[in-house]
Structure formats: structure tokens, C-alpha cells
Amino acid sequence: MTSIGILGAGGRMGQAIAAETGAAGALVAGGIDRDGPLTGPYESITDLAGGSDVLVDFSSPSALQANLNAAVAAGTPIVIGTTGLGAEHHAAIDVAAGSVAVLQAANTSLGVNLLTHLVEEAARRLGTDWDIEVLEMHHRHKLDAPSGTALLLGEAAARGRGGAKSVTERMGVLAAREEGTIGYASLRGGSVAGDHQVILAAEGERIEIGHRAETRAIFARGAVKAALWLASKPAGRYSMADVLGL
Ligand SMILES: NC(=O)C1=CN([C@@H]2O[C@H](COP(=O)(O)OP(=O)(O)OC[C@H]3O[C@@H](n4cnc5c(N)ncnc54)[C@H](OP(=O)(O)O)[C@@H]3O)[C@@H](O)[C@H]2O)C=CC1
Ligand SMILES: O=C(O)C1=N[C@H](C(=O)O)C[C@H](O)C1
């Protein structure tokens, strides 16, 4: 039975992943949080990595390097679901992927990963006279904005279009839309698990395609599926597209 070590175990996603691990016929090796061990016999991240077949990290960008170091030291594959990652984090993931299997995904749900393809295709087929905007809404506790998924969808649109500048802030009296850009808007409130909408707007018509997460169990299910898939993979950087065959 595959054993999964959970990093960020006490958080909303950490708890959801622990619940889905059993349902998938796998085992929780242990869980570690900012304050130390939460479940299982392991006292440190490195010990947990050594006692797990695969690690799953849904914590914080500030914890990423230590989590990658532990994965590399133990030779344990790691799934990174944490968002709010910058260029320096992606560079660190690339380095770790030289030694162990690393799968990074801003969204582990099947629906969003399919949506990414639909958005890229729509942007490819429509002319640059179609403006593209990404709208997201999440629960009041979310720290990063725009969401990792919004950025993922915007990147897919930009790929389809052959490149585009991102605009994450529009404010004041000189805030008119700049042609060819992709704009982002972030709403926060209540307990929303994660809504994303991509709006393609032209003169006289508009296409809106999106995804609503009704429960974060969908992300947890995808993360566990990714972990079970990654556990036997050689070093390298992987994505949800590899897992889902999309
Ligand atoms: N890829 C995907 O599909 C999804 C990704 N996410 C992302 O996952 C991450 C976690 O989300 P969520 O569970 O809602 O957040 P929570 O705040 O509920 O959980 C984060 C957990 O990580 C711990 N943590 C935070 N910072 C550190 C640190 N520096 N070292 C060790 N542990 C730390 C927190 O401990 P403490 O409470 O003490 O700070 C907490 O237990 C976010 O980046 C979120 O955007 C979320 C859903 C789906
Ligand atoms: O923080 C969350 O909750 C979520 N974060 C991810 C993101 O930033 O896109 C995925 C999902 O939308 C939920």
C-alpha cells in the first residue's frame, strides 16, 4: 500500500487529503505542519520524507524549499499543490526535479485541467479583437491573489494567442483596457471553494467558460491520484496533464 506524507497537514487541504487518502486505498504515513509533527511517528520533514513513498505539499511558498530539500535528501517523489509561487520557487522545483520526481499543479481537479485546454483552444481560434479577462472567487481565508488557477488559465489563453501581457490591477482615472492584455480580477468572501471564469469579449458578443468547485474534496482527490501516479516515477518535472492524460 502506498504511503503518503502530508506537508501542511493541519490546513484545509491537508485534512481533505488525509480523508481522500484512505478512500483511495492508500495510507497516511504522517503529517507535519508549521509547528511540527501532527500525525504519525515522524519528528521532522526529512524523517517523514524517509518514511513515505510520496510527499504531498499544500502549505505555503515559504515552506517550499525546506520541503523540496527533504524530498531530495530522502529520494522521495513530491506533489506540490501550494500556490502563490514565484519564479524563484519554480527554479527551485526545476533543481529538485533533477534528483526526484516532482509534480507541481496550481489546481489538481479534473475539471480545471480540462478547462485549461478549452481556454487555450478558444484563444487560438478567436482573433486578437476578442479581449480576455479571468475572474476568480475564493473563501475569505485565501492568501494569494490572483489564484494559481487564474494565472494558469491566463497562461493557457496567452499560449493560444501567442503571448500576452498580464494586468492584475486596474484602478484610477487612466485605467482603460490596454489592447492585447489579459486582465485578472479576484473576489474573496465566505467559504467559496474556488470559482474561475474566463471571459472572451468582442464587439456585440461574449463567451464565458468556467469551473465551480463545490467542495475542496475534488482538489484532494486529484492530489491523491497524482501522488499515487508519481510514487513510482523517475526524477523529472511532471504536471496534472501527465496524470490525467489530457
Ligand atoms: N493545487 C490545488 O488544487 C489547490 C491548492 N491550494 C493551495 O494549497 C495551499 C494551502 O491551502 P489551504 O489548505 O487552504 O491553506 P491552510 O492555511 O488551511 O493550510 C496551510 C497549512 O500549511 C501550514 N503552513 C503554512 N506555512 C507554513 C510553513 N512556512 N511551514 C510549514 N507549514 C506551513 C499551515 O500552518 P499554520 O496554520 O500554522 O499557518 C497550515 O496548516 C495554498 O497555497 C492554496 O492556494 C488549495 C486548494 C487546491
Ligand atoms: O486556496 C484555495 O482554496 C485554492 N487555491 C488554488 C488556486 O490558487 O488556484 C486552487 C483552488 O482554486 C483552491
Q: Which atom of ligand 2 is nearest to the CA of 196?
A: 12
pLDDT at 169 over 80: yes
Give the residue, by CA position, lying nearest to ligand 2 atom 10.
107
Question: What does each C-alpha distance from 5 to 44, 46, 148, 155 come to in angstroms?
Answer: 11, 11, 23, 31
* Complex prediction ipTM: 0.98
Residue ranges with strand state E in the chain: 3-7, 27-33, 36-39, 54-57, 78-80, 101-104, 131-138, 166-167, 182-188, 194-202, 205-213, 236-238
Q: State how far the Cα of 186 lies from the Cα of 168, in Å rounded to an integer.
A: 9
Q: Is 168 annotated as a binding residue?
A: no
Q: Is 11 annotated as a binding residue?
A: yes
pLDDT at 152 over 80: yes
pLDDT at 82 over 80: yes
- Residue 169 grid cell: 490591477
pLDDT at 203 over 90: yes
Mean pLDDT over 88-101 rounds to: 98
Mean pLDDT over 159-177 rounds to: 88
Write down the pLDDT at residue 175.
82
Q: Which pTM was predicted?
A: 0.97
Amino acid at 125: R
> Which of 104-108, 131-135, 174-178, 239-243 shows the lowest per-residue confidence on average (mean pLDDT)?
174-178
Q: State how far the Cα of 166 lies from the Cα of 46, in Å rounded to an integer.
A: 38
Output the CA 107–ligand 2 centroid distance in Å: 7
DSSP annotation of 62: G
pLDDT at 242 over 90: yes
- Residue 180 grid cell: 492585447
**Structural domains in the chain, sorted by start:** 3-108+216-244 (3.40.50.720), 110-213 (3.30.360.10)
